[in-house]
Chain A
Amino acid sequence: MMAARPAVSARRVLALSATGLAAARFRLAVLMAAAACLGALAGADGSAIEAGFWYLSDPRGVLTVILYAASAALGVVSLAEDRARAEWLALPASPAEKFLSTVLCWCLIVPAALFSLQVAGSLLAGEDSLRASLPGAGPDSPILRAVLSASWGIPVAVPICMSGFVFRKNPVPAAVFCLLALPMAGTLICAALAGSPSLRELRLDPSWNPLDWSLLLWMPVLEASARTQGERIAMAFHEWKSLSALVVSWLALPALSLGLGWIGLRRMEADHA
């Protein structure tokens, strides 16, 4: 008779995360290198984290969103393959442990690691504004901005990663979801927090028209951003609409995604059992 084991074991969750990271190590290495290069590029021209990572006008901001999206998409890719999915499901761990390990690994650890590499790349390239700001971390502080900049990797990564469960056998909608809708949403979240550039202007810009449907989805964020255009992040928190936009984008979207992901995982389990 085997000894009873806890329903959720932290050790097994960590082991599952390590297994997932190990399985994607080559793809992860490519992403890590891309993150470091992006940071170095931003640091080399002096803009670094202070500007380059979150302005929509800067292609590096968009690249960063894509980078975070790609990191979460690794989890999706690994589940899209029948053999890999079956092997993952067959690992002796409970569904809750598998879900937690996925969230930990692809929604938290990997985006955080990518951001760290971006910062490191920027510092290595000679940007010293980050170090200069260390004594005080007010709203103007690059540190605060950097942390906020990193945090939107999570609202981008969580829904994409969870889409692997939701669209588990339909790679086409999952790919559309991952590659278009959510990076765009993440970019808008970023822009909303930064208060710049003007999303009102963005909406009028014909070059963004193909993505209007995505903008509509994020209307509360757009409105909040328009009201706070030019203001600093700290001031944005005092605006009720900005706060609601923050809640929607930072909490509701990941929470909704996590809920849908859990349902998707259980359905995936049911498909196989």
Chain B
Amino acid sequence: MVVMDGVSVNYGHEPALGGVSASFEPGGIHGILGPNGGGKSTMLKVAAGLVRRASGSVLNFGLDPGLRSAESLADIAFVPDGVPPELGDPEGYARHRAPFRPAWDPVRYRATLDAFGIPAGERVRSRGFLPGGLRVPARGSRSHGGMKKVALAFALACGARILLLDEPDAGLDAASRRTLRSLLSEAAAEGKVVLLATHHLREYDSLLDTVTILDGGRLALRAGTAALSRSVHVERRASGGGSAPLWSRRTAMGHETLVAGPGDSLDLEAVYDAALENPEALAAVLSQNGGHR
């Protein structure tokens, strides 16, 4: 379980997170959503113990990741948005990092790579000499998405109970994104805590258990998706009339509006827009249904 209490983070004098409190249960997939610069990556880094907190506390299964003990770090698998060049060699990457992971599962690593379509022994060297990340491009080098697959496979096989995934689907093709969603469901079913930051809202409508929406480093909304489905739904109307919408958008066919009341399915994109534009009204509706956390 990941518990954050009043976490604030500053980058220099710029606040990146302001007093965010949230808890993430094991066995769930928790979406961290928000616009660029909203604080999603910072929140994941806080959970990974990679950012200094100005205030507040974080406990991962009772351990503070900020103390950076070997025990607490071994329970965290953090996949950042950027990918290191070492991922060009999946076997080598695992060989050098697996010794730090007591619950490392090489069979699962291979199976996950297979699921992503990365054949055994495939090795793309990233040749580079210049400091500062400047590299000489290698022929046949692995794409950003390919590197990301290797990083995800390692995270899923390393035995960590907390998976922190920053834009895990960035650069992945459609088939790989489906594979990823399936793998994340399996991980959650095993009791892991999965936190993922993403901009691809529609793809995660049915996968996420909770959503945490950040705007300008502040918590705009935190709710379970089941409660959201019970509380709000999208209506498509020819005109803008009808009951007071929580959010409305003009489309070619008329208007899409988010209104209170249970619906057949969750439109995460509409909820996201409503949380950014009209957070108080959305929170009030959710509170009535006991869905606001």
Interface positions of A (Cβ within 8 A of B) = 2-5, 9, 11-12, 15, 18-19, 22-23, 26-27, 30, 77, 80-81, 83-84, 86-87, 89-95, 97, 269-273
| Contact partner, A91, options B67, B100, B127, B131, Cβ 8 Å | B100
Q: In the complex, what distance in Å separates the CA atom of A58 from the CA atom of B100?
A: 46
Which residues of chain B are near A5, meaning CB under 8 Å? 70-71, 102
| CB closest residue in chain A, given B164 | A90
Interface centre among B50, B51, B67, B101 (most CB of A within 10 A): B50
Which residues of chain A are near B53, meaning CB under 8 Å? 273
Q: In the complex, what distance in Å separates the CA atom of A3 from the CA atom of B99?
A: 16
4 A-B pairs with the lowest CB-CB distances in the bound complex, closest first = A273-B66, A92-B73, A92-B74, A15-B99
Q: In the complex, what distance in Å separates the CA atom of A93 from the CA atom of B76?
A: 12
User: A273 to B70, Cβ gap below 8 A?
Assistant: no
Which residues of chain A are near B237, meaning CB under 8 Å? none
Which residues of chain A are near B67, meaning CB under 8 Å? 273
Nearest CB of chain B from residue A76's CB, rounded to whole Å:
9
Which residues of chain B are near A26, meaning CB under 8 Å? 127-129
User: B100 to A93, Cβ gap below 8 A?
Assistant: yes
| CB closest residue in chain B, given A1 | B61
Residue interface bits B77-88, CB-to-A below 8 A is 1, else 0 = 010101010100
Q: In the complex, what distance in Å separates the CA atom of A89 from the CA atom of B72?
A: 12
User: B73 to A93, Cβ gap below 8 A?
Assistant: yes
User: A83 to B82, Cβ gap below 8 A?
Assistant: yes
User: A91 to B132, Cβ gap below 8 A?
Assistant: no
Q: In the complex, what distance in Å separates the CA atom of A71 from the CA atom of B67?
A: 31
Interface positions of B (Cβ within 8 A of A) = 45, 48-53, 65-71, 73-76, 78, 80, 82, 84, 86, 92, 96-97, 99-102, 127-129, 131-133
Q: Can you list 26 residue pairs at the A/B interface with Cβ under 8 Å?
A: A2-B71, A2-B74, A5-B102, A9-B70, A15-B96, A18-B96, A22-B96, A26-B127, A26-B129, A81-B132, A81-B133, A83-B82, A83-B84, A84-B84, A86-B45, A90-B78, A91-B97, A92-B70, A92-B71, A92-B73, A92-B74, A95-B68, A269-B68, A270-B52, A273-B51, A273-B66
Q: A92-B74, A94-B70, A269-B68 are in contact. Are A27 and B100 (CB under 8 A)?
A: no
Nearest CB of chain B from residue A99's CB, rounded to whole Å:
13
Which residues of chain B are near A87, meaning CB under 8 Å? 80, 84
| CB closest residue in chain B, given A98 | B68
Which residues of chain A are near B66, meaning CB under 8 Å? 273
Q: In the complex, what distance in Å separates the CA atom of A133 from the CA atom of B96?
A: 41
Q: In the complex, what distance in Å separates the CA atom of A95 from the CA atom of B67?
A: 10
Q: In the complex, what distance in Å separates the CA atom of A201 from the CA atom of B73?
A: 56
Nearest CB of chain B from residue A179's CB, rounded to whole Å:
13
Which residues of chain A are near B82, meaning CB under 8 Å? 83
Q: A77-B131, A83-B80 are in contact. Are A11 and B99 (CB under 8 A)?
A: yes
User: B131 to A92, Cβ gap below 8 A?
Assistant: no
| CB closest residue in chain A, given B127 | A26
Which residues of chain A are near B70, meaning CB under 8 Å? 5, 9, 12, 92-94, 97
Q: In the complex, what distance in Å separates the CA atom of A269 from the CA atom of B100?
A: 18
| CB closest residue in chain A, given B63 | A2
User: A86 to B52, Cβ gap below 8 A?
Assistant: no
| CB closest residue in chain A, given B65 | A273
Which residues of chain A are near B78, meaning CB under 8 Å? 90
| CB closest residue in chain B, given A14 | B99
Q: In the complex, what distance in Å separates the CA atom of A80 from the CA atom of B130?
A: 12
User: B129 to A273, Cβ gap below 8 A?
Assistant: no
| Contact partner, A90, options B52, B73, B96, Cβ 8 Å | B73
User: A272 to B86, Cβ gap below 8 A?
Assistant: no
Nearest CB of chain B from residue A269's CB, rounded to whole Å:
6
Q: In the complex, what distance in Å separates the CA atom of A273 from the CA atom of B51?
A: 5
| CB closest residue in chain B, given A81 | B133
| Contact partner, A19, options B49, B68, B96, B131, Cβ 8 Å | B96
User: A15 to B129, Cβ gap below 8 A?
Assistant: no
Which residues of chain A are near B133, meaning CB under 8 Å? 81, 83
| Contact partner, B50, options A11, A27, A92, A272, Cβ 8 Å | A272
Which residues of chain B are near A27, meaning CB under 8 Å? 129
Which residues of chain B are near A273, meaning CB under 8 Å? 49-53, 65-68
Q: A15-B96, A18-B96 are in contact. Are A90 and B50 (CB under 8 A)?
A: yes
Which residues of chain A are near B131, meaning CB under 8 Å? 77, 80-81
Which residues of chain A are near B48, meaning CB under 8 Å? 90
